[in-house]
Amino acid sequence: MTTQNSATEADRALKAKHRAMWAQGDYPSLAAEVIPGLGAVLVEACGVRSGQRVLDVGAGSGNAAIPAALAGAEVVASDLTPELFEAGRRVAGQQGVELSWQEADAEALPFGDAEFDTVLSCVGVMFAPHHQRAADELVRVCRPGGTIGLLSWTPQGFIGRMFATMKPYAPPPPPGAQPPPLWGDEDHVRALLGDRVTDVRAERRTVRVDRFETPEAFRDYFKERYGPTISVYKSIAGDSGRTAALDRDLVDLARDGDPGPGGVGGLREWEYLLFTARRAG
């Protein structure tokens, strides 16, 4: 019993840390300014339509949930970090749609079995630390024959490489936690979902990002607004040498593959995996 209680307390502490990480900075503005169209890509791939009940897991400020509502679906936007909802409610109001916003842990969703026609997540559920738990929940709340749709950064794409760049500077992950970009690996996602899904479609695509004129502009923007980057810098704040080294490494990452004067190489094209499937049964 003591071991189980300790594990539960450790999990609560980890989730509190994740919530705080995403609440810092300004992820809603980053999502709106850098990747505004990704949610709509996922909604279209899932075939969301009027009359469906849709759950967005790790919804953030609603990049996928709002397009789903615009398609006529009844939408629940869920996220571990409800601090992100205010911006989403504002955008939804401006676009004239209503949806529900609910605080929820992707690894323990507060919804009934087979409650939704479509369960989707746009660069959201990939940040749940325990991948199998999260995958099990995606399947559980989707009705048989319903659609599960995921859009995740790939390990070899720009954001996956950014996480690899930051890893040496970050505190070691807790036992059992897995790297977010693994959700961008088709084989990994297939293994997580197993034979509980059919009609799998997986495609690696890129989104063009024209927000940053220089590698330094990218680094400074993410240092200010992106929770995971902010957290890594906070963890080394007392070491000026390591902070300067991370500064250099992020600039080098953005400069890698520079196509010429004024170009920033891979910073222009961010690869993601678009994965859809139907729940079997």
217: number of Cβ within 10 Å: 15
pLDDT of 7 reads 59
- Beta bridge partners, 205, equal 272
pLDDT of 263 reads 45
- For the chain, domains (ranges, CATH) are 14-209+267-279 (3.40.50.150)
Q: Say what the pTM is.
A: 0.94
pLDDT of 5 reads 58
Tens digits of residue pLDDT in 78-115: 999 999 999 999 999 999 999 999 999 999 999 999 99
- Run means of pLDDT, 10 residues per run, the chain, 281 residues: 63 95 98 97 98 98 98 98 98 98 98 98 98 98 99 97 98 94 98 98 96 94 98 98 98 73 63 98 87
pLDDT of 257 reads 46
pLDDT of 281 reads 87
* Alpha carbons 77 and 65: distance in angstroms, whole number: 6
